[in-house]
Amino acid sequence: MRIYPIIVDGKEVDTGKHATFPDMDKVVVDPGIAIALQMRDTSAMQRLVFSRLPSFIPRSAPEMRYLRDYRRAHGVPRYSKDELDESTYAEVAISREPDIEGALSAGVRDRPKLYNPFKLLSTGVTLDERVEALYQAGLAIKKRFQEVRDVSVKEGVPIKTFEWTWTMFTEYLERETFELWGRDLDLKEAPGRDGGKNFQFREPYGVTCLFTPYNSPLALGILSITSSILAGNATILKPPSKVPLSTILLGQAFLQTFQEMGLPSAMIQVLTGGGKTLMDRFTSDRRVGAIVWYGDSDTGIELWSEATRRRIQMAPELAGSDACLVWGRDVNLDFAAKMIVKGRFLGSGQACMAVKRLLVQDTLHDDLVRLVVEEAEKLQLGRPSDPDVSLPPLGLTAMYLLLDQMEDARAKGAKVVTGGFRCNYLSEPDTAGLFYKPTVLTNVEASMRVMQEEVFAPALPVLPVGSIDEALRVANASRFGLRSSVFTDDQSVSLRWAKEIEAAGVSVGQDHLYFDPHMPHLGGYKDSGIIGAKYFPVMLTRMKYVHSGPAAEFL
């Protein structure tokens, strides 16, 4: 069995303390495997409660609700030691306090070597050199396509989803991309009114810690890592606890390239462990300059506040409840339906930036719903290794939030047009299933939880609107403001929507999930991020200026 190490100060370290990860391609077929592996590592009392006293299993957390549901639906899973060993795919080394301390110390030591704003010989890595290093690392990552794909499938990512992600986000690993992002970081010179010179440049925060998310470890891992390194930070990468393997592979590829180029060893390091434990550790350490974090808004805003109080720059990526509007006399409904279904259900809806509320001109409602349902019913869930499958299992937090949201919607009169049930990998109803059938809801009201909260799962509420005023009022009533999209044949509608929608990004007549290197890196309004759209390399640096008088010798 392969052991995935952490990376500290240029060295891969097996700490001797490991977390076990099952083969999700097998767990999807038989979820009892994961429960049996979990029970193997628990106390005798916990095993007794699960097997003999299931009514005493707490209901407080999604993980506990799942154990209750599985026990009620399928009983106690029983496997031999050999069967469980065969279902275990990998182990991951877990960071210890000396590893964390070593990584932070290395970051502080190498910080002055990682940026060189004045491009002086032997005073640090210049922006141009960081661009070249990232480009070379990108080439190395692309050569490992098969390995990264195979590991991602074992983590539960369907081949179709992986290939879409790979195609889109490996385009970011081009020299032109890093040169484009670097323009905002580079030294700028302007004349002073006194005959001297004014200079300004972006200075890295130093040690920067990246908490990348489970729902898109490859795409957002690439985006976060490259942004922090381009900015000149000593980067510590914390992979998502649920799916750390592919992220560790990324870290290894970057490290190997940087070492071959003779770059400082703290340019990229990888630490594993509990997210809360490491966040508490980093926010309490004065050596940490910046943090990137992805997650729900309530937790994120609290962390952001704490980081600010401790004078740590934080770049949070928070929740969204993106509204999409379809309006017009001759709007292409077929194209809109395809883009809406992709924008809602990719990754089983587990994306912060996704179509989560569909607003449609009332006269188009029935036709669009029919087309959306047709497209949604083409989607296939199942084993990640099946090339026809595009929908992965749901995370347990997302699953139980959706179940509660759907109960609320039904109680308030929503109509389920398609889907609406939990299921196993064969799409058979299963009250302990890991999947949820793609769902379209009509007869919804603005007061329903599916309209008020983020739905981080494959369910789409559709609301007819009679005017653009009404559409904007409904869309902007949300506490979130990440991205929005509009499909219309009326230019005045798209212009008004782009101006008045309270969201950081707007897609007009295109895939809601569309990205290219010229676009900002997410960001939002209100509880989706407050500050609007942002570029990570800029946010992970701070502006510094220098004025040299007319008689001063500077540059």
Q: Are 115 and 128 in contact (CB under 8 A)?
A: no
The amino acid that residue 294 corresponds to is Y
155 a catalytic residue = no
d(CA 154, CA 165): 16
With vertex at residue 300, the alpha carbon angle to CA 206 and CA 114, rounded to the nearest 5 degrees, is: 10
Six token digits for residue 101:
């301390």
The amino acid that residue 37 corresponds to is L
Q: Are 203 and 539 in contact (CB under 8 A)?
A: no
The amino acid that residue 466 corresponds to is G
Alpha-carbon distances of 523 from 108, 235, 421, 500, 531, rounded to whole Å: 29, 21, 32, 17, 7
Q: Are 182 and 230 in contact (CB under 8 A)?
A: yes
CA atoms within 13 A on the CB side of 159: 11
Q: Give the closest residue to 214 by CA, choosing from 236, 238, 234.
A: 238
Q: Give the closest residue to 91 by CA, choosing from 151, 5, 172.
A: 5
Q: Is the dihedral of CA 283, 269, 396, 413 positive or negative?
A: positive
Q: Is the dihedral of CA 11, 14, 15, 21 positive or negative?
A: positive
SS3 of residue 96 by DSSP: coil
Catalytic residue among 155, 209, 324, 352: 352
d(CA 320, CA 351): 8
SS3 of residue 296 by DSSP: coil
352 a catalytic residue = yes
d(CA 536, CA 210): 11
Catalytic residue among 317, 375, 453, 454: 317
CA atoms within 13 A on the CB side of 396: 16
**DSSP-assigned states of every residue in 406-434:** HHHHHHTT-EEEE--SEE-TTS-B-TT-S
**DSSP-assigned states of every residue in 21-73:** EE-HHHHTT-THHHHHHHHHTS-HHHHHHHHH-GGGS--SSHHHHHHHHHHHH
List residues with catalytic annotation. 317, 352
